[in-house]
Amino acid sequence: LASASRFMKLKGESGYDNGTYWGAKEFFQKRDADAKAAKAASKSSNKSANTTPAKAATSASVAEFFSPATAKKRPADSSCSPGGPAKKSKGAAFDELVDQARGVDLPTEAIFDNCDEVRMKALAFIAAEGVTTAAFLRACGNINSNSWNRFLSTKGPTKGRQIEAYPKAYRFLEKVRILRGQPKTKKRINAEAKEGPDGYSTERERTHMWVLGF
pLDDT digits (tens, 9 = 90+) for 12-50: 655 556 566 666 666 666 667 676 766 766 665 544 444
Segment 42-68 mean pLDDT: 43
- The answer, yes or no, to whether residue 4 has pLDDT greater than 50, is yes
Least confident of 82-91, 114-123, 170-179, 183-192: 82-91
- Quick one: pLDDT at residue 158? 95
Q: Which long-range contacts (CB under 8 A, 24 or more apart) does 156-160 make?
A: 156/115, 156/116, 157/114, 157/115, 157/116, 157/117, 158/114, 158/115, 158/200, 158/201, 158/205, 159/115, 159/205, 160/115, 160/119
